[in-house]
């Protein structure tokens, strides 16, 4: 179950062509617990989707990035993300709420970035957990 569950795809989007530390991922994927994030990262690493780099430093530093297989998986998931973004907007409009254009959702990645679209993990982007639920 490479991408099963609520969080794995969101983790993949957060790592899309960026290297992130655990804490950065924890902040980027809003709502995921440390236990679940740790478990999913281990599973994604075991499946060859995520690379875990441990640096021999004090304090210890661990960074996560996508492998070539992970990058190709994200490319395959991109049409699904586009579909989700289209329908989240439609669902909000049908509910009478509309969508706030000021939330800063990156149309390429589905990541809400505090400084606007295109920010990296250092800027603590937040993945919109509701994408695809419209």
Query: Is 121 within 8 Å of 21 (Cβ atoms)?
Result: yes
CATH class of the domain defined by 8-127: mainly alpha
pLDDT of res. 128: 45
Q: Give the distance, in angstroms, between the CA of residue 85 and the centroid of all CA atoms in the same chain.
A: 14
CA atoms in the 13 A half-sphere facing the CB of 20: 28
Over residues 46-68, the pLDDT tens digits come to 999 999 999 999 988 999 999 99
Over residues 71-126, the pLDDT tens digits come to 999 999 989 888 888 887 666 566 665 544 444 444 444 544 433 333 456 544 44
Its sign, for the CA torsion 131, 75, 24, 110, is: negative
pTM (predicted TM-score) = 0.68
pLDDT of res. 3: 86
CA atoms in the 13 A half-sphere facing the CB of 15: 34
- Tell me how far CA of residue 89 lies from CA of 85, 107, 125, 127, in angstroms: 6, 12, 20, 16
The rounded mean pLDDT for the chain is 77
pLDDT of res. 121: 61
pLDDT at 8 over 90: yes
């Amino acid at each position: 179950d490479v991408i099963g569950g609520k969080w794995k795809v969101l983790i993949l989007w957060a790592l899309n062509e960026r290297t992130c530390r655990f804490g950065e991922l924890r902040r980027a994927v809003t709502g995921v617990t440390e236990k679940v994030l740790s478990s999913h990262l281990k599973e994604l690493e075991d499946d060859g989707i995520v690379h875990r780099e441990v640096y021999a430093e004090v304090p210890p530093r661990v960074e996560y990035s996508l492998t070539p297989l992970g990058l190709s998986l994200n490319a395959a998931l991109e049409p699904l993300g586009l579909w989700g973004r289209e329908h989240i907007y439609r669902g909000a409009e049908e509910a009478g709420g509309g969508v706030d254009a000021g939330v800063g959702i990156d149309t390429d990645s589905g990541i809400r970035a505090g400084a606007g679209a295109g920010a990296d993990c250092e800027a603590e982007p937040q993945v919109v957990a509701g994408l695809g639920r419209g």
